[in-house]
Structure 1
Amino acid sequence: MTDSELHTDIHSIAPIPDADRSSTGLQQMWIWAGANIAPVNTWQARDVCIRHRERRAQMTEMTE
């Protein structure tokens, strides 16, 4: 690994000065969107809803 491939965060949690920023807000938005609006998340949420509905139906049958 060369020095150009390895970057360290010298700012920690402090705001990053404009001169040190290497990407735009639009470029960062796509990274965020890819992580948060992924198809896998949609399918997982769907599965959770279906399982919850099935368990609720089973519980209702048991109490009747």
Structure 2
Amino acid sequence: MSSGLSEKNEETCIICNQVKTIGIHLYTSFICIECENDLIKTTTSDPKYKYYLNKLKKINTPQIFS
């Protein structure tokens, strides 16, 4: 069973903009494991919450062509 983590290639994280090898994919975007952990632990009252929301707005749902 797959854990959903990607560790095959180096990719640029949409949150920190650093090249990392371990993280998750949301649609066509990559989030490194460190940013994922920070994101999960951030409360809505934390100033970083709005920062993360703005970064996550970059994620686009891929179009399905039939």
Larger radius of gyration: 1
Bigger fraction of residues in helix: 1
Output the TM-score relative to the length of structure 2: 0.25
* Larger relative contact order, structure 1 or 2 (CA cutoff 8 Å, min sep 6): 2
Bigger fraction of residues in strand: 2
Output the TM-score relative to the length of structure 1: 0.26
